[in-house]
Amino acid sequence: MHQHFKAISISHKIAPVHLREQIALSESACKELLVRIQEVLDIQELLILSTCNRTEVYYTAAEDKSTEIIKLIGLQKGLRDIENYFPYFQCFSAHNEAVSHLFEVCLGLHSKVVGDLQIANQAKNAYQWSADLGLAGPFLHRLMHAIFFANKRVVQETSFRDGAASVSYAAVELVEELTYGMRNPKVLVVGLGEIGADVCRNMGEKDNYTITITNRTLSKAQALAAEYGLRVAPFEKVWEEVLDADVIICSIAAQEPFITKSAVAGLDFFTYKYFIDLSVPRSVEPSVEDMPAALVYNIDDIQAKASSAMQKRLAAIPQVKAIIGQALEEFYDWSRETAVSPTIQKLKNALEQIRQEELARHLKGMSVEEVQKMDQITKGMMQKIIKLPVLQLKAACKRGEAETLIDVLNDLFNLEKQPDKVK
C-alpha cells in the first residue's frame, strides 16, 4: 500500500489555458469526482488538486489507473472527446516520483509564478475534502502533514515566498502600500483583461477594501463580481466612479490613453488619487501626474517590483529543494518503517503468546501477589528480548534491507501463521 502512490496531472507546463479550463474542477465537482473514483475503482486514498493552472489526481493503488481516472474526469466534465486530452496529461506511476511531485507542487516550485502564495492553501483545502470523505488514510495524512511542515520551514527560513512576483500580485501589493492607514479605501478597476481580472481575484480575498469593477462588457464584470463579491458599476458612469475612488487600476486595451489629463482635470477632487496603469499601450496618460493630487504608476513600475521579488525567489530555490530533500528522507524512513510494522507486531504477539503459555503452566499454587510479580518479571524480560530485533529491523529499513530480516524472523517464529492479536 505504501509503495503504490501515483498521480496524473494536466498543467500550464503542457496544456494551454483553453484546454485546462475544460478540465478544471470546482470544489463541488472535486468532491463528486472523489466519490466517483472511489466507487468505480475502489481506491481508498485520493487527493484532487484543481486550480487555474493545474488539475491533478493523486491516488494509492497497486496498478496504474491513469486512463480510467482521466475518463472519469471526462465523464464528470461532460467531455465526450476526453481521449483527445490524453497527450496533455503527465502520469507519475513511480511511488517516489509521485510523492516528490506533490511536494514540489504544494511548495510552489511548479507554479506559473514561482513560489505562489495560494497553492499551499489550495492544497490544504484539497486535503480537507479528502479527509472529510474518508479518503485520506494513514499514508496520505502523514504525507500532507510532512508537506505542510516543509512549507512552514520554507516560509520561515527562506525568501522563496517574499514579495509579489507577478504583475497582478505586485499591483495589489502596491495598492496596500498606497492605502496604508486609510479606513476602508475605495478601489476602482477599469477594464477586465487578463491582468485586471487577476487583480480582482487577488483583491477579492481582502475584506478591508471597497472594490468596484467596470467593464465595457457588463456580463464579464457581473460574472467576476458574483464570484468574488465585488461591486459592479455601469461603464457609462466610469467618471463618477473615478471621482469617488482612492485608487484607480486601469487595464483598457486601446491605442490611445483612456484616462487623460483633460478628463481628470474636469473632476473636482482635493484628496490624493493613485492611478495604476497595467496596459501596453498605456491607458493612463502620463501627464495626469501633473495634476496636484494625482500620482501615476505604470506597468514598468509594477514589473520592476515583481522582477525584484522573482529574483529573490529564484535565488532561494536551492534552499527550498534542500528542505524538500530532508522532508522526503524523513518521510521515506517513516514509510519504510510503517511497511514493517505488521512484522514487528506479529513478533511481539508470538513472544507474548509464549510468555502467556509458560505462565499458565506455573500459576497453580501461586498467590495473587506471586502471580503479579511473575507477570511483571516476564513482561520486563520480553521487552528487553524484543528491543534488539525491532531496532535491527528499523535500521535495516533505512538501509533498504528489511525484506531479508523479515524473512528470517518469519522463519524463526512462524509469523505467517501468527494471529494479529493474542487472545
Q: How many whole angstroms separate alpha carbon 363 and alpha carbon 355?
A: 12
pLDDT at residue 400, as a whole number: 64
Residue whose C-alpha is closest to residue 387's, from 347, 357, 335: 347
pLDDT at residue 423, as a whole number: 47
What is the chain's Cα-based Rg? 30
pLDDT at residue 405, as a whole number: 67
Mode of pairing for the β-strands spanning 186-190 and 210-214: parallel
Residue 98 backbone dihedrals phi, psi, to 5 degrees: -65, -40
Indicate which residues carry an active-site annotation: 52
pLDDT at residue 346, as a whole number: 75
311, amino acid identity: Q
pLDDT at residue 404, as a whole number: 64
Per-residue confidence in pLDDT tens, the chain, 423 aa: 457 999 999 999 999 888 998 998 989 999 999 999 999 999 989 999 998 789 999 999 999 999 999 999 999 999 999 999 999 999 999 999 999 999 999 999 998 888 887 788 899 999 999 999 999 999 999 999 999 999 999 999 999 988 777 788 888 888 998 999 898 899 999 998 778 888 888 887 677 889 999 998 999 899 888 888 899 999 999 999 999 999 999 988 788 899 999 999 988 888 889 999 988 788 999 999 998 889 999 988 888 888 888 899 999 999 999 999 999 988 987 877 676 667 777 777 777 888 888 888 887 778 888 888 888 888 888 888 878 777 777 776 666 666 666 676 666 666 666 655 544
Q: How many whole angstroms separate alpha carbon 80 and alpha carbon 83?
A: 8
Q: How many whole angstroms separate alpha carbon 238 and alpha carbon 176?
A: 23
Side-chain half-sphere CA neighbours of 70 within 13 A? 19
pLDDT at residue 409, as a whole number: 67
Whole-prediction pTM value? 0.69
